[in-house]
Amino acid sequence: MKDPQTDNEKVHLSDLEDRLIQDADGELKEQVLKELVDEAFRLKSERDKGLSPDEFEINDKMITALIAATEVVDKTWNTHHKKRAD
């Protein structure tokens, strides 16, 4: 797939990355971010109700992973769609 910013052939790690590159209006980015954040809030709600120590640890790691994923999605989209100053 060619990077629209550089017109160079690039190898991407995932189908989602390819789709984010093609997502000029940011609609997909917003949808993915919403899904990730919604899941993090769902897990936090479970955690707040009380979990066993093992479940708490797993839940906490999942929340951390979901938040990290939002950062990756946002940075990936911004890398390919940042506005250039004239």
CA 64/CA 44 separation, integer angstroms: 11
Residue whose pair of structure tokens reads 């809030």 in the numeric block? 41
**In terms of DSSP H, where are the helices of the chain?**
15-21, 27-49, 53-81
Tens of pLDDT along the chain (86 residues) come to 455 555 556 666 688 999 999 999 999 999 999 999 999 999 999 999 999 999 999 999 999 999 999 999 999 999 989 864 44
* Predicted local distance difference test score (pLDDT) of residue 71: 97
* Predicted local distance difference test score (pLDDT) of residue 86: 41
61: left (phi over 0), alpha (psi -120 to 50) or beta: alpha
* Predicted local distance difference test score (pLDDT) of residue 85: 45
* Predicted local distance difference test score (pLDDT) of residue 26: 93
CA 60/CA 54 separation, integer angstroms: 10
pTM: predicted TM-score of the whole model, two decimal places: 0.77
Q: Closest Cα to residue 78, out of 29, 32, 15?
A: 29
